[in-house]
Structure 1
Amino acid sequence: MTVTKELRAQIRAQREPFTDVDGRLVPGSIPFLRGLIEAEKDPLDRDSLLGELSGEYLRADLYDEHLLVQRERVANHPEAAVMWLGLAHSLGMKRDRADEAKQAVAKGLEISRHTGTLIRYSLTCQAAVARQTNDPALFESSLRELIEDAENCREEDSGLDAHILIDLPIGFCPPDLEAKYRNLLEQEDRSS
């Protein structure tokens, strides 16, 4: 089943009332999605539904369940960089998962480099994980690589992302490096 606007509306409508699942009250959207996932045969549609389930778990502050879904998505598609990057982001939400988050983002970046796609996106995710895990050295190396990569054009990639600089702690990154990145962001804005 393809995830459509209509399906998302159904998911939202299923959130209330809460339902008992294994002795725990969860939004009704969770068993609703689980039923759709179990019935789905197409691996891509199944993964799209897992993505929706992951979001429902986060909305309900069920972090451990959210993380299990992210791990399931990686297990189903271990060759997909975006799965590893999503897992890295989820792991980065918890301080005790910092090392694993960095390993997952490194795996996503490795896959991106190997396939020649989403390299800038992966580096941006790595910078975000560095912020989540309070790792200035990783953030600095990610920003340097983003700056070096800025002139490379790829059909399957993202632009530079200003969000990684929002509320950047003082001293987290060398000021000259931050200034170079901001300059590239301005150039990108002018050329679009």
Structure 2
Amino acid sequence: MKKFFWVLALLLSLSFIGCSSKTNVHVDQSNVPSGESIVPVEKSSSTSGGTVSNPVKGDLEYSLDITYSKSMMKFLIINNSSKDIELVFPNTQTFDFILSKDGNIVFDNYKDNPNVAKFDWETHQLLKANGYINNVGQGYDIWYESLTKKFSDGIYNFEFYSISEILKDVPHLKGQLEIKDGDVNVNSIRLN
């Protein structure tokens, strides 16, 4: 009976591992300008979302999660160092998200989103050490419905970045997305 239990436990654990395996998104390179490449967002086999991380400077990395909700992109700044990092912002703006097409900015989340709090008090955020992720307090959300302007169909470039002084030298997280029939095509989101 003991042997049967262990065999059953092994089979169950192997089936769980198989269920959680990842597959990649097909990347359509036909819309990418010559000389540029795009990195697909890794997709979970059970959802149309995914997560991709991009080391940006030292022990910091930006992460983009579209599994969290089909209604938004969740950007995270992850601190992989052994010490907590405190981010200080001069006001309530902690990040910016910009959409551009053909080199022209068509949407700036801070300027164009009426739901963004714009108060002149100092804001603090703690990035916990060792890759700790708290999706509630740590994430920066871009709700697709907050893209308040009407956009024509096409491929758009996006940038996400923290405006904290301590992260001023950290490269922006850049990528592409497609807008089709006035909506963001979630399956098209890719990082450069």
TM-score, normalised relative to structure 1 = 0.23
Structure with a larger share of its residues in strand: 2
Structure with a larger share of its residues in helix: 1
TM-score, normalised relative to structure 2 = 0.23
Q: Which has the higher contact order (CA 8 A, sep 6+)?
A: 2
